[in-house]
Every structure is written in C-alpha cells, then in structure tokens.
Structure 1
Amino acid sequence: MSEKRACIETTHEDAPTIAAALRPDNTPSMTTRVDDGAIRTTVERETAGGLQSTVDDYVVNLTVAETVARTAREHSTQP
C-alpha cells in the first residue's frame, strides 16, 4: 500500500516560535521545518483516514500556537 501524504505550508510573524511549539506534538510520521517565515509540515500516513485525522489534529495545534503567539505579542507591546 502506498503512503498518503499532505504538505501544509503556513506563514507567520514568528514562524520559528510557532514551529517549536508544534514539534512536541508531531508524530513520527510528521516533519516540520521553517524556511523564510513559512512553516512547512509534511504528514505521511498509510491510510487516507489516518492522514485526515493527523492533519486535523495538526491544524488545531497550529491554531492554538498562533493564538498564543499573537496574544503574547499583543501583551508585550502594550504600555
């Protein structure tokens, strides 16, 4: 059976910090790297359903990491 693969690329103001927050939740089937302000994550799974579940979890984690980073930036710039 061939592996199913998804490549997710997102850009962020603080991509290295967000990528660092995501990496602990990565499974062995995932790789994450940062290039020029973009986070690139590749997910490989044996089944389409497994791929969908992993990508869904990743997007939730990404949303949380982005929200926390944005909130921290906003609070650090307030007087």
Structure 2
Amino acid sequence: MRRADVATTHDDASTVAAALRPDNTPSMTTRVADDVVRTVVERETAGGLGSTLDDYVVNLTVAETVARTAREHRHNHE
C-alpha cells in the first residue's frame, strides 16, 4: 500500500475541506484542524497514488478559489 499525507493551510479551511470531500474517493480521508486541511490518500500502486494526487491538487486549487471568492463576496457585502 502506498500512502501520502497532504497538509495545506487556508484562511477558510472548513470551506476548502467541504468543497474537496465530494470528490474524494474511498481511499481518501480529509480532516480540518484550525486552518489546516489534511488529506490522507492510500492506493495500491505508486502510479495510482500519483494519479490520485494529481487530481487532488486540481480539486484543491478549485476549492481554494471558491473559498476565496466566497470570502471576498461576503466582505464586499458587509
């Protein structure tokens, strides 16, 4: 079994994690602690792990953009 533990820091970690979870596969778990999103990925092969991590990074980028846009929208309407 191959395993990766990815931890990233975000201004709105809960929103980022919520945006990521629907795209998680059964081999992935995502948790939030303070401003850190931690996702653990386990796959049978290194190639499978690499592919899953590639997808995860794309999803993480989108999730961070969505969270930032929502934060800016809230700020502009306060």
Q: Look up the match of 2:13.
A: 15
Counterpart Cα distance in 2 of 1:32 and 1:75:
26
Amino acid in the other structure paired with 2:11: E
Amino acid in the other structure paired with 2:57: V
Q: Runs in 1 of length 4+ with deviation above 6 angstroms?
A: none
Gaps of 5+ in 2: none
Q: Look up the match of 1:52.
A: 50
Amino acid in the other structure paired with 2:24: N
Q: Look up the match of 1:43.
A: 41
CA drift of 1:17 comes to: 1.0
Q: Look up the match of 1:71.
A: 69
Amino acid in the other structure paired with 2:4: A
CA drift of 1:77 comes to: 1.6
SS at match of 1:41: strand
Amino acid in the other structure paired with 1:78: N
SS at match of 1:28: coil
Matched length: 77
